[in-house]
Amino acid sequence: MKTKINYSILKYIHSRVSNEILNVGVLVEKVDSREFELFIPSDLSRLSILYSDFRPGFLKTYLTSLKQKTDELNAQKFQLIIEDQVDPRSFILRPDDTSLEFGEFKPALVSDSIQRFITGFVPNLFSETSREERHDEVYLKSRLFRSLSQWRGIENKIKKDQEIEFNHLSFKIDFEWQNGTTNLVKAISFDYKDSGQINNKIAQSVGYLNHFREFAEQRNSRFDLLLARPTEKSTFKDYDRALDILSDLKVNKEIIEENRIEQYADRTIAYLRDSDF
């Protein structure tokens, strides 16, 4: 059965000057019943990764209050909406808000679930109880940054999303920090259900690390590799083989599996808190 809906994307505006805008919710109207529902993400950590000055607590509380306003809207919909007395978006969100903004309503005919339809607009839209969470590179970076952020001074000690170049090839580094050596943090997820994907990932990773081995030696650098193991049991042996290959690689590195990320973060904070770098 197909459902007619209208949907409006809720956008977070970090900076109008630099046009830094991200989707943080979706307002859905079911056309037949004229009922509204605001879908907001269960996890805002991706914003903390992108913007070092972002604090998720206030926004999460504010988004929750907008869901409450949506409930109020449904209770008053016949008086307010059907009689065209108010725009539902302006009822839910203050028109003078400077950090959040609804887009125009767009129509859609949904043959699958509404949740599945709108998930593509906003990452991390639903909690782990309603969807399977893959431990990908974003998950690894988010987990590390949350642990590092327990010390407020961390933002002045690390760099995010750096790119290194050597012999005409570039390599994106997730975090960089100094402790006498330059620590180049790179997240590598092996959380795949297919052996071929794990084999491709290890081949790609080994290729990059071998290429930048001389770069690390010349610049007194070390690669700190954050690894996520697969959740699919059938690929555990493939991951163990990939881990052996990385361990044997002749490049200055430290391997940090995801169950040791918090320990790594604690060590990093302890050093940086007392360092002059």
- The single-letter code of the amino acid at 180 is G
Dump pLDDT digits (tens) for 54-63: 777 778 888 8
What is the share, in percent, of the chain residues with pLDDT greater than 70? 82
pLDDT at 124: 54
Task: Return all residues near 82 (Cβ < 8 A) that are at least 6 apart.
Answer: 34
Paired with 208 in beta bridges are none
| pLDDT-derived band at 125, boundaries 50, 70, 90 | low
Dump pLDDT digits (tens) for 11-55: 888 766 656 677 888 999 988 888 889 988 877 766 766 666 677
pLDDT at 227: 97
Higher pLDDT, 46 or 127: 46
Dump pLDDT digits (tens) for 211-241: 999 999 999 999 999 999 998 889 999 999 9
CA 164 to CA 231: how far, in whole Å?
31
Whole-structure pTM value: 0.55
In this structure, what DSSP letter does residue 111 have? S
pLDDT value at 253 more than 90: yes
Q: Are residues 99 and 12 in contact, defined by beta-carbon separation less than 8 angstroms?
A: yes
Q: Are residues 21 and 39 in contact, defined by beta-carbon separation less than 8 angstroms?
A: no
Domains of the chain with CATH codes: 3-119 (no CATH), 137-274 (3.40.1350)
